[in-house]
Structure 1
Amino acid sequence: MLRKIAEIIVVYRHALAVIAMFLLVLSGYGLTQLRFESDLSKQLPEDLEAVKDYFALQNEFNAGSSALIYVKIESTKSVVDVRDPRVIEAIYNLEQRLKEREYVTSTFSIADLCVQILGRLPRSIEEVNFVLNFLPPEAKNGLISGDYSSTLVIVEINRERNQETLIRVYNEITSDIEKSNFPDGVKVILTGDLGITYRILQMLQSDMNKTMAVAGAIVVFLLLYFYKSPVRMLIPLIPLIFGVVMTLGFMGLLGIPLDMATSTVGAMIIGMGIDYGVHITNRYYEERSRGRPPEEAAEEAITETGKALLGAALTTIAGFLALSISILPSLKRLSITLTMGLGLAAINAVIITPALAILEEEIRSLLFKKETRISISGSESKLAGLFRRWGWRIKKFPIGALILALIISIISLYGLSQVTTEVRLEKMIPRGIPEIEALTDIRSEFGGQDEIYILVRADDVRDPEIVRAILRFERAVEADSYYNNVFESESIADEVIEKYGFIPNSKDLIKEALKDSSLVSPDYSMTIIKFKGNFMGVTQEDFDRIMRYFEEEIEMSYFPAGTKVSLAGEAYLNYVLNNLVNSELSRISTIGTVIVVLVVFILFRKPSVSIAMIMPMFLGALWTIGYMGLTGIPFTQTLAGVVSMIVGLGVDYGMHITHRFMEEFREGNKTPIITTMESVGPSILVGALTTAGGFLALLSADLTAIHDFGKVLAVGIFASMFSAYLVTPAILQLEFGKKIGGGESEKD
């Protein structure tokens, strides 16, 4: 059947090329519809309680989205410190501009305090000191640094969380900062939720373009090196370009956004997709070197190599499809895009590559009036000679190869025990970025401005018993500040006590105290307890400990019957995501591996042959995770599906070796393992180098998560390739060696 399809492809290659061009034009329109997504809440399922609470927090209290404007003295030539009246005036001017923005709900700064206490802006540093002396020590430390070199403007924002609005809000606030006339020597940085999210979005856009360009350059260089011809290099490259453009275009048409995971898809498809074209091209030229005419060589390449490519594509796609079972939207989107991209790359390789190879020979014959051939894997190739000797070594010492694989696996098992997770968005940005450096300074100088919210629901939260329960909870948390990093809290209990000095039993009196409160919902069915501190700047282990502390405090707290209390906010979303990544990692990896194994056994049936194929994927995944543990690379939401991906990719190499070995074995070759390594080994190396090259292109990304993603996948490719060279031929030799009998020597 595959041969019949090959004949159709060769005969109707021109018509199929026209169809491909039409799809390419359609994809060009889709490219204009692509959008980027950097909202953390969109990385979690909408029906999750933590996500529902997060949106309730935003909708009812305009909470969970803020901007921190960090004002720091860089030079004391013109300004001594932030108490300088000119700095206070600039901050006041900035706030007035911000308050005119429809999305700014409130602002707070030292300028507000001066106006409240003095009735005007201060005229001297002494007047500023007078104002600061009214503040309790903890309030003063949360607003201005101990050496008076920096201060904060806290801006609460209520906006639509989409790409266009984010960019507009960031640019408008940045413009307001520039127009506020801060004195020379004063540096003002927009950071916090808004600044970090904008920076991530900006990096996503630049990283996608940069990594695709680098991946393309790496692939072009490798193809030029192996094919020695810029024209013949285009034969596997053009179908790949078609596949990448179609993938990104269809993403735009289907409304699939580019996020932390899917923004890598361009470089990944370049790296993985070139493998298909290389194998088809190499087999075509191998058949041409044997004297077959172009059409027959193309049919043979599609038929024989197509069998292995079909199996490799199916198993790789099976591994990627396992990501679709995840409850994390980002992994589902990655599954769809990679499956679509690989499918398009494989189809384009099978349909377009032979047509280009034949066309190139026809044009060359017309121009140069002679026939020339190319081969990178024939017997005359130095690379093929190296693999021929490697095949001889495996034939003589298969047990030694297995022992070497075992030693590497034992080391990797230790690394496996050291693996951690990290999902906080700010940790995805490298050090040295102004927004991150400002956050670090804020945490060290002001105790941190991260927020954790406790959402309290009841029929009427103004019930005196509920208010007392809120006060007890708040005081208990404050008492453990040394443990939970809380430095400030705010609740309706504080507002009631501020008015009366105590919590009255009268509901009417509480209603009077809370009539202008921003901490209760309009229908009084919800209220929040807000805690500020350094929660996100700590290690992942400490972050998890702090979040567990709040969960345990909620469980142990006493609230009246019918009251529902839950954690909410962006910090808590990060914690929930971290737990989901841990659970999804094992589930997706297990299911992905099972699916790939089943596909292999269904396609090839024979257990010993199937085991030879699938061992590289197991070892490749194990060695890669061991590498992550030994080098301290944590699992992120992007890397949660990496095991399933490596499993899907790693089986390809064992499949190509096994398929060629069985072909040679059936034809009566007395040294099938030597012939196999000589012919397929170079192709696997080229494919692995180009695939890893595409992944290594992600190292050029600025975002740490994408950088690590590329590094881990490249290691996975090399680990899978090396294990395929070691284990697959050793297993095949042990299984079929006695049936074959003797063979040629190394010299032969």
Structure 2
Amino acid sequence: MLEKLAEFQYKYAGLIFLLTLLFTVSVGFGIQNLRLQTDLNKELPQNLNVIKLQNKASDLFGGADSVMLLIKLNKNCNTEGIKDIRDPKIIKMIISLANKAKEEPSVNSVQSVGSFFVSPENIPENTEAVKMILSKIPDSETFFNKDYSATLMVVSADLGGSEEKIKKFVSRIHEDIESIEKPACIDINITGNPPIRKVLMQMLRHDMVYTMLLAGIIIFILLVFLKKSVIKALFVFTPLVLGLTWTLGLMGWLEIPLSIATVGISAMILGLGTEYGIFLVERYEEERKNKDQKASLITALPSVGSGIIGSGTTTIVGFLALLLAAMPMIQHLGETLALGIFCILFATIVVAPAVIICGERITQGIRKHEKKN
């Protein structure tokens, strides 16, 4: 069977290469649909009783994402000014910020010390009067730290699982903070589940691109060093690039998310799949010393192809075994790695021989043209 495949690849190498490019472009569009899963709750087993109870409670009482704003005095500020976070100017600022936050459609509630005064008109003109009012309100001290240098505002919102919604919501909160008038030496810091998820999104994107590029560059340099030829290194590297592109594209089309567990799959797939191309190219080069292109390919592909398919299949089965794990993040890791190895295996067996033939034909054509000139 592999001999017939080799004959077909030799005869229609250009057509296979062209169809591969078209397929890669169409599948590659799926990369823009690739989403990041930063909600760690989604990576937990949903069939556990404790998780079911949490989900039920969220459905009954409304699952909310909380953003916490820490408003504090800047102790490094040299300006002589506010010494107590209960200063009327700060309370007015807190009310103004709370009103801004409430204008956001997804916000359910805002809790802060400003809630005790309702509007800026109800705030006394001096700090001592504010202290007196707060002392008469039960549990008002829970909004402050021990030395009254900081207070907390909690903004609750329903953002669902949309990473884009979370990103926009956190950005709007930052805009609200920038838009209000703040007294001197006051810092406002933001934290909570949505801001953390936004930071995770940025980290996942950076780590994915960084590890993929770093692994790709190192592997290509090693291939050039081992093969002592950029062209021959490309024969091995091309199936890796194609397989990785197909993997990420199919993940986008199949709605398989990238998570903390799967963000490094690009580097892993490149590392695991390199040997397949090396075996094929090495065997082809051995045959090429005494045979023409067609005979070399017909001998090389069947001799190493079965071994490559066997090795790749066992690797895929091993990764698919991770689907039996209880943790969804481990399941996603298994299915993405299995998909990646399958794509590189397919690219090596079906596409790589056509790439080698086309590459040799182009190289030979260039050499003939140079000799004529």
Query: Same-fold call, TM > 0.5?
Result: yes
Could you tell me which amino acid in structure 1 is paired with residue 187 of structure 2?
Answer: K
Structure 1 residues 15, 362: closer, same or farther in 2, change over 3 A? Answer: closer
Matches within 5 A, 1:413-562: none
Equivalent in the alignment of 1:263:
263
Residue of structure 2 in register with 1:76 after alignment = 77
Name 1:224's counterpart in structure 2. Answer: 224
Match of 1:304 in 2: 303
Residue type of the alignment partner of 2:364: S
1:329 paired residue number? 328
For 1:313, the aligned partner's letter is G
SS at 2:154's partner residue? strand
Correspondence 1:88 to 2:88:
no
Deviation at 1:254, TM superposition (A): 1.4
Offset at residue 132 of structure 1 (A): 4.4
Deviation at 1:228, TM superposition (A): 2.9
Q: CA deviation at 1:166?
A: 1.3
SS at match of 1:296: helix
Mapping 1:88-487, distance limit 5 Å: 88-113=91-116, 115=117, 120-134=122-136, 140=141, 142-288=142-288, 290-369=289-368
Secondary structure of 1:87's counterpart equals helix
Distance (Å, rounded) in 1 between the aligned partners of 2:119 and 2:89:
18
Q: 1:77 to 1:7 in 2, by over 3 A?
A: same
**For the Cα contact (< 8 Å) 2:237–2:274, is it kept in 1?**
yes
Partner of 1:225, secondary structure, is helix
SS in structure 1 of the partner of residue 143 of structure 2:
coil
Could you report, residue by residue, the CA deviation over 1:116-155 in whole angstroms, capped at 9, with x for unpaired residues?
A: 699722433323332443466x762x42222333221112
The answer to whether the 8 A contact 2:95-2:119 is kept is no
Structure 1 counterpart of 2:243, one-letter code: G
- Tell me by how many angstroms 1:63 deviates: 4.6
Q: Structure 2 vs 1, CA of residues 132 and 300 (structure 1 numbering), >3 Å: closer, same or farther? A: farther
- CA displacement 1:519-555 (0-9 Å, x = unmatched): xxxxxxxxxxxxxxxxxxxxxxxxxxxxxxxxxxxxx
The one-character-per-residue Cα deviations of 1:153-178 (angstroms, maximum 9, x if unpaired) are 11222232222221222122221111
Cα drift, residue 285 of structure 1: 2.1
Structure 2: how far apart are the matches of 1:117 and 1:351? 71
User: Alpha-carbon deviations, 1:247-297, whole Å to 9, x = none?
Assistant: 111111112222222332223222222222122122222333x42323333
CA contact (8 A) 1:117 1:131 kept: no
Aligned to 2:12: 12
Separation in 1, partners of 2:90, 2:209: 40
- Matched to 1:297, the amino acid is S
Does the CA contact (< 8 Å) of 2:39 and 2:161 recur in 1? Answer: yes
Mapped partners of 1:214, 1:184: distance in 2: 45
Residues 619-646 of structure 1: CA distance to partner in whole angstroms, max 9, x if unpaired?
xxxxxxxxxxxxxxxxxxxxxxxxxxxx
Partner of 1:155, secondary structure, is: strand
Aligned partner of residue 233 in structure 1, secondary structure: helix
How many aligned residue pairs are there? 366
Shift of 1:100: 1.9
Give the whole-Å Cα distance in 1 for the aligned partners of 2:63 and 2:77: 36
Inter-partner Cα distance in structure 1 for 2:135 and 2:287: 88
* CA gap 1:367/1:341 in 2 versus in 1, 3 angstroms: same
Cα distance in 2 for residues equivalent to 1:126 and 1:76: 23
Counterpart residue identity of residue 107, structure 2: V
Do the aligned partners of residues 88 and 306 (structure 1) sit closer, same or farther apart at CA in structure 2, a change above 3 Å counting? same
TM-score, normalising length from structure 2?
Answer: 0.88
**Mapped partners of 1:158, 1:46: distance in 2:** 20
Give 1:85 shift.
Answer: 2.8
What is the rounded CA distance, in whole Å, between the counterparts of 1:131 and 1:268 in structure 2?
Answer: 61
Which runs of no fewer than 5 residues in structure 1 stay unpaired?
A: 371-748
State the Cα distance separating 1:354 from its structure 2 match. Answer: 2.4
Relative distance call for 1:252 and 1:185 in structure 2 (3 A) is: same
Shift of 1:313: 0.1
C-alpha distance in structure 1 between counterparts of 2:212 and 2:72, whole Å: 38
| Structure 2 stretches lacking a partner, 5+ long | none
Residues 119 and 53 (structure 1), Cα distance of their counterparts in 2 relative to 1, 3 Å cut: farther
CA distance in structure 1 between the aligned counterparts of 2:9 and 2:314, rounded to whole angstroms = 23
Identity %: 32
User: SS of the residue aligned with 1:32?
Assistant: helix
Sort the Cα spacing of 1:5 and 1:363 in 2 relative to 1 into closer, same or farther, 3 A. Answer: closer
Q: Select the structure with the greater relative contact order (CA < 8 A; seq sep ≥ 6).
A: 2
- Would the aligned equivalents of 2:30 and 2:249 in 1 still touch at CA under 8 Å? yes
Distance 1:217 1:184, change over 3 A: farther
Give how far 1:347 is off.
1.3
1:300 is paired with a residue whose SS is: helix
Q: C-alpha separation between the residues in 1 aligned to 2:129 and 2:247? A: 63
Residues 303 and 105 (structure 1), Cα distance of their counterparts in 2 relative to 1, 3 Å cut:
same
User: Contact between 1:33 and 1:252, CA under 8 Å: does it hold in 2?
Assistant: yes
